Chain A
Amino acid sequence: MTDIATQLAATAYQRVIRKRVVVLAALALTSLVAFALDLGSGPSSLGLFDVIGGIFDGNALSSAQRAILWEVRLPQALLAVLVGLALATAGAEMQTILGNPLASPFTLGVSSAASFGAALAIVLGIGIPGVPQNWIISANAFVFSFIAVIVLQSVVRMRGSGTDILVLCGIALFFTFNALVALTQFLASQQALQQLVFWIMGSLSRASWEKVRLLALVVVIALPFAQRAAWPMMALRLGEDRARSLGINIVMLRFMSLLRISILTATAMAFVGTIGFVGLAGPHIARLLIGEDHRFFLPASALTGAIIMSLASVASKSIIPGVLIPIGIVTALIGLPVFFSLIFSRRGLP
């Protein structure tokens, strides 16, 4: 009897796992399609087949087309994917370690801190000495978002591992940095204000190969570590006591996770500006599709983030061909309907 029950359970489990693998594979395929769509779209006549041909045979394209492919489309499309991977992974980890569905780099002040760093550079010209001038905004954004996460981490250390305090502190950071950004906006000249507002709305127009390489490096290092922490994270979802009884060092787990979150978010934000929706909704969409199992949930979140960003990139350059609509606006506008439809379609299910 027991054997049969065990066998049934094992079969059911295998079925669940198989289903999750299928969903994950579907997400991976969708993200590839979205990336291809992004690569193949733009205000010039360069289509997807030209792009693919151009990648393998440089002589197939005119020099202007080569410039469009190598200096515009590829870096922007790759940066979109990487930013999606980074922000959604950071959001997923944050929601788990804080046990709070509203947690994301945006809602807990990390993005506001990045904006403040950028604002200091744009409005007041304050930057880190020695940083080249055209990196000064990115460098400031990076440093300030990093500071925000360090503050969150020190709260964890000071007050033990209470997540409520951490969330409250994050919200306080959000308001503090928002107020500081508003103050710099108030002080800003009309010209600087325009620059700052555009920075805050997020844009892929700042893409370059250097930025792609740097963010790729960060993603390639951070994501496997996040994946390796999937089991203890799952244990944490069962409750802190249970996780502790399984021998997990919760303080360390949280610290390492916040470190990954800070580096992923800070680097992504530094390069493209503030993009709020992906870090919050990416993980939720993934959770609705695949469940809480972190081995699948993390990669699913990352892929969902990449899909959202690629599709947003397509939309941002296609709504008015020639004009770039800031991608931070687009992610929310195209992501929200998907998000709502998923929430409401799940409501009736058991």
Chain B
Amino acid sequence: MTSMTRRFTISAIAACVLGTCLAVAPAVAEPVTVTDITGRAVTLPQPATRILLAEGRQFPGLSLLHPDPVSLLSGWLGDFRRNDSETYAAYRQKFPAIDDIPVLGMGNDGSFSVEKAISIKPDVAVLGTSFAPGGRSSDVARQLEAAGIPVVFTDFFINPFDNTVPSMRILGRVIGRDKQAEDYVAFYEAHMKRVADRVAASREKRPSILVETHATPSDCCHSLGAANVGRFIAFAGGDSISAEVSKGPSAQLGLEYIIAKNPDIYVGTGGAHLKATGGLLIGPGFDAKTIQASLAAVVARPGFSELRAVREKHVHGLFHNMLSTPLNLLAVEAMARWLHPQAMTDVDPNATMAEINARFLAVPMSGIYWVDLK
């Protein structure tokens, strides 16, 4: 190689390196402004790479947007691990580092350690609305901001019906992955629209439905009200018998009321958290036999045999934790199929899940998340 050629090669490499730097540098350094779920505009000097997640249950949102969501976490609450131990185990298998993420509190907002949060110096704190002004733990946000940590509010829990889509966009903006967020939002909205269209076009009558949350044979019957998560039921084309008497998020219904209303369809929600008290076991980590047996036990309670839903075998189980994540569209599709089997022939939650697994989730969902009592 002549000296000229060498000089040329070196300068070419230098130009390339410099050019790459110039091309990349502005994207890294550029500030991003995000309007959070409470309407506050927050500016970050650059997309966050170290996030403090104050509601561990929001983690699946990150997993839909980033191939290595664990790498984004600088600290979180312990609720994801506690509430959804089986999904956590699946993440641990792929990302062992998940065990090393500092845990800032146990299962709820009241246990959040602000001092520890400040000490880990995250780029941004993503908090749920219980931390927002007027929320139960609103002091936390004030203290974090006083320490110079930007705070962004998202919500998949209090009002997922309205807030899932904007919260996904907020998360995408915060980590600089707007495109992935828009992709998922488009996917989500298309699937929701299909359900809405089929419900609107359906000539079938709207069946009455009881969705019992945390279904267990030892008590009866906590149910979703008309507001918040309960809105998914109406959206999927069902008349919730609890929405008639509870305008709020949830209520404990009397068994007599349930028998008198005689719902067409029964859906129990459950998960690993009901293992201790003998409730409905469903979701990752449970085999079909266990799920069927626990669902059968739930509707074997005295008085339940009288219900039309039980007599005519319209009894279903649903994984509870899905409701407060951006994966709630799967619950909507499953419910829509139970409510309007004829109108929903092209709605298949299993296919939707397969597509989510293939296109979005860092760790695919595996297991049984919805089930019919056989």
For chain A residues 225-280, which have a beta carbon within 8 Å of chain B?
Answer: none
Nearest chain A residue, comparing its CB with the CB of B216? A134
- Cβ-defined partner of A323 (8 Å) among B82, B252, B262: B252
Contact A125 B110 (CB under 8 A): no
Asked if A67 is at the interface (CB within 8 A of a chain B CB), the reply is yes
Q: Which of B15-33 contact A (CB under 8 A)?
A: none
Q: Please, how many angstroms separate the alpha-carbon atoms of A58 and B333 in the complex?
A: 43
Q: Are B255 and A205 in contact (CB under 8 A)?
A: yes
Query: In angstroms, how far is the closest chain B Cβ from the Cβ of A318?
Result: 10
Q: Could you say which residues of chain B place their CB within 8 Å of the CB of A28? A: none
Give the tally of cross-chain contacts (CB within 8 A): 142
What's the nearest-Cβ distance from chain B to residue A190, in Å?
6
B257–A44 CB distance below 8 A = yes
Please state if A322 and B255 are interface contacts (CB–CB under 8 Å).
no
User: For residue B255, which residues in chain A have a CB less than 8 angstroms away from its CB?
Assistant: 71-72, 205
Inter-subunit contact A137/B277 (CB<8 Å): yes
Closest to B246 in A: A323
Residues of chain A contacted by B218 (CB below 8 angstroms): 134-135, 137-138, 206
CB distance from B211 to the nearest CB of A (A): 15
Q: How far is the CB of A54 from chain B (nearest CB, A)?
A: 13
Known: A64-B260, A71-B303, A194-B222. A323 touches B251 (CB 8 A): yes
1/0 contact string of A134-146 vs chain B (CB within 8 Å): 1111100000000
- Separation of A216 and B220 alpha carbons in the complex (Å): 22
Q: Closest B-chain residue to A67, C-beta based?
A: B306
**Does B320 count as interface, using CB distance less than 8 angstroms?**
yes
Q: Are A198 and B222 in contact (CB under 8 A)?
A: yes
Query: Would you call A134 and B217 a contact (CB within 8 A)?
Result: yes
Taking the closest CB of chain B, its distance from the CB of A292, in whole angstroms, is: 40
A208 and B278 within 8 A (CB): no
A147 located at the interface, meaning its Cβ lies under 8 Å from any Cβ of chain B in the complex: no
Interface string of B213-236 (1 = CB under 8 A from A): 010111111100000000000000
Q: How far is the CA of A181 from the CA of B24 in the complex (A)?
A: 54
Contact of B254 among A42, A125, A194 (CB under 8 A): A42
- The reply to whether B108 and A190 form a contact with Cβ atoms under 8 Å apart is yes
Does B275 sit at the interface, judged by CB under 8 A? yes
Q: Is A317 an interface residue (CB 8 A)?
A: yes
Q: Mark A304-330, 1 if CB is under 8 A from B, else 0.
A: 000000000000010011111010000
Q: Which of A188-233 contact B (CB under 8 A)?
A: 188-195, 198-199, 203, 205-206, 208-209
**Alpha-carbon distance between A72 and B297 when the two chains are bound, in angstroms:** 18
Let me know if B256 and A320 touch, CB within 8 A: no
Task: Give A190 to B320 CA distance when docked, in angstroms.
Answer: 12
A63 proximal to B (CB < 8 A): yes
User: Residue on A with the closest CB to B250?
Assistant: A194
The CA of A321 and the CA of B245, in the complex, are separated in Å by 7
Q: Please, which residues of chain A bring their CB within 8 A of the CB of B242?
A: 322
Q: Which of A64, A125, A194 is the one whose CB lies under 8 Å from B276?
A: A125
Q: In this assembly, does A14 line the interface, its C-beta being within 8 Å of a C-beta of chain B?
A: no
Is B253 in the interface zone, CB < 8 Å from A?
yes
Q: A189 to chain B: which residues have CB within 8 Å?
A: 79, 82-83, 107-108, 273
Whether, in the assembled complex, A49 has its beta carbon less than 8 Å from a beta carbon of chain B, the answer is no
Q: Nearest CB to that of B130 among chain A residues?
A: A190
A73 within 8 A of B: yes
A191 cross-chain contacts in B, Cβ below 8 A: 83, 214, 271, 273, 320
Task: State in angstroms the CA–CA spacing of A68 and B252 once bound together.
Answer: 17
Instruction: Tell me the minimal C-beta distance from B259 to chain A in angstroms.
Output: 5
Which secondary structure dominates chain A's binding surface? helix
Total interface residues in chain A, CB < 8 Å: 50
B11 interface residue (CB < 8 Å to A): no
Q: Quick check: is A345 within 8 A (CB to CB) of the other chain?
A: no
CB within 8 Å for A194 and B217 given contacts A44-B257, A64-B306, A72-B259: no
Residues from chain B with a CB closer than 8 A to the CB of A136 are 276-278
B135 contacts A by Cβ under 8 Å:
no
A124 within 8 Å of B (CB atoms): yes
Interfacial chain B residues near A26, Cβ < 8 Å: none
Chain A nearest CB from B334 CB (Å) reads 20
Contacts of A199 in B (CB 8 A): 219
Chain B residues, Cβ within 8 Å of A208: 302
Alpha-carbon distance between A192 and B253 when the two chains are bound, in angstroms: 18
Are A205 and B219 within 8 A (Cβ)?
Answer: yes
B residues less than 8 Å from A124 (CB atoms): 276
> Does any Cβ of B come within 8 Å of A133's Cβ?
yes
Question: 17 pairs across A/B with beta carbons < 8 Å?
Answer: A42-B254, A42-B257, A43-B257, A133-B278, A134-B217, A186-B108, A187-B106, A187-B107, A191-B320, A192-B107, A192-B273, A195-B277, A317-B254, A320-B251, A323-B246, A323-B257, A324-B252
Task: Report which B residues bind A (CB closer than 8 A).
Answer: 79, 82-83, 106-108, 110-111, 214, 216-222, 242, 244-246, 251-257, 259-262, 271, 273, 275-278, 297, 302-303, 305-306, 320
In the A-B complex, list the 7 residue pairs whose CB atoms are closest, starting with the nearest: A133-B278, A125-B276, A44-B260, A71-B303, A322-B245, A67-B306, A322-B257
Q: A64-B262, A73-B256 are in contact. List 13 more A-B contacts (CB 8 A).
A: A63-B306, A72-B303, A134-B277, A136-B276, A189-B83, A190-B107, A194-B214, A194-B222, A199-B219, A203-B252, A322-B242, A323-B245, A323-B254
Query: Which residues on A are within 8 Å of B, measured CB to CB?
Result: 42-46, 63-64, 67-68, 71-73, 75, 121-122, 124-127, 132-138, 186-195, 198-199, 203, 205-206, 208-209, 317, 320-324, 326
